């Protein structure tokens, strides 16, 4: 591992046994922290604290504080069925760090479009990229009002680089690209990051169309990084966890096989080691006990 903080240094959630350009909305005092009372002024505009939200549940699994009781309830319910979900979240985040580091240090990428960025946490895309090359430019995209409220945390940058935030839905690539062009030069290679986004698009044709339309707008030398949940490892347990999630969460979640994931890379050169479980993609460190297999797969491809 590198010597800076990683997602694995974050505190873990409680045990499951316990029941745009560089201008963005300035966040108020952070949303309700674990154990604190929710007050109307602590809730950013547009955030419904009565309905669970994927970004906030993911934040809970990563040990973050930007979540509400309803999110923690769903997160703990998932943990009861699939205890390894916390490690899945952390290994997915660690893949982001390794992939971005590779793209900057070895592939020469200096621009990133991070679609479905989620809430700020340790080692956001711009932080990883700009540690290697301070001139990197990054645009984050998300449609969650809470992410919008915290966008200022995503908009920090080195003086040489730049960050931007686009409040938009992944299903509208053209709007994303129009707004991103204020920060990125789309005639030069871009690293397109789509971690955990495509499971929320159930129709395979629509999901592939989103990816195609984004990649059609960037030149050769651009790269695509994806993570996606499967049931290839844990089978019925992850299927049951998704069934329970879809019973309570407003945005349905869909599993795909590694073979279906390969369709997102049609026309791209898939980099070694191909489509693999997140811990197995170019690990920084191999444990004496080997690398775990988990139902979050990832891949990186070059246009």
- Confidence (pLDDT) at 289: 63
Token pair belonging to 8: 């694995």
pLDDT digit string, tens, across residues 60-107: 888 888 888 988 988 898 889 888 888 888 899 899 999 999 999 999
State the Cα–Cα distance between residues 223 and 218, nearest whole angstrom. Answer: 9
Burial (CB count <10 Å: 0-12, 13-18, 19+), residue 108: exposed
> Distance between CA 37 and CA 50 in Å, rounded?
14
Token pair, residue 180, equals 């991103």
Average of pLDDT values for 228-245? Answer: 94
Distance, in Å, from the CA atom of 43 to the CA atom of 71, rounded to the nearest integer, reads: 14
> What percent of the chain has pLDDT above 70?
84
pLDDT of residue 24: 32
Report CA torsion sign: 275, 278, 282, 288.
Answer: negative
CA 248 to chain centre: 21
Residue-wise pLDDT for 125-140, tens only, equals 999 999 999 999 999 9
CB 121 within 8 A of CB 65: no
pTM of the model: 0.81
Angle at the Cα of 80 from the Cα atoms of 85 and 245, rounded to 5 degrees: 70
60 phi/psi in degrees, rounded to 5: -60, -45
Residues with Cβ within 8 Å of 200's Cβ and at least 6 positions away in sequence, in order, are 54, 170, 251, 252, 253, 254
């Amino acid at each position: 591992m590198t010597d800076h903080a990683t997602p694995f240094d974050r505190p873990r959630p409680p045990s499951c046994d316990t029941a745009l350009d560089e201008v963005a909305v300035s966040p108020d005092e952070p949303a309700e922290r674990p154990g604190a009372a929710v007050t109307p002024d602590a809730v950013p505009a547009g955030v419904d604290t009565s309905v669970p939200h994927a970004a906030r549940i993911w934040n809970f699994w990563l040990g973050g504080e930007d979540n509400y009781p309803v999110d923690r309830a769903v997160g703990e319910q998932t943990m009861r069925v699939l205890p390894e979900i916390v490690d899945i979240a952390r290994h997915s985040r660690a893949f982001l760090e390794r992939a971005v580091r590779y793209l900057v240090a070895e592939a020469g990428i200096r621009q990133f479009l991070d679609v479905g960025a989620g809430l700020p946490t340790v080692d956001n895309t711009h932080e990883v990229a700009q540690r290697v090359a301070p001139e990197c430019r990054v645009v984050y995209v998300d449609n969650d009002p809470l992410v919008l409220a915290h966008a200022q945390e995503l908009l920090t940058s080195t003086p040489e680089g730049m960050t931007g935030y686009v409040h938009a839905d992944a299903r509208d690539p053209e709007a994303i690209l129009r707004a991103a062009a204020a920060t990125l030069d789309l005639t030069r290679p871009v690293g397109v990051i789509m971690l955990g986004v495509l499971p929320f698009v159930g129709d395979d044709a629509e999901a592939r169309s989103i990816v195609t339309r984004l990649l059609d707008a960037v030149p050769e030398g651009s790269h695509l990084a994806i993570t996606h949940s499967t049931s290839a490892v844990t089978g019925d347990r992850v299927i049951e966890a998704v069934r329970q999630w879809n019973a309570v969460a407003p945005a349905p979640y869909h599993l795909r096989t590694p073979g279906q994931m390969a369709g997102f890379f049609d026309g791209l050169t898939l980099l070694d080691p191909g489509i693999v479980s997140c811990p197995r993609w170019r690990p920084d460190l191999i444990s004496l006990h080997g690398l775990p297999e988990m139902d979050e797969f990832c891949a990186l491809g070059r246009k």
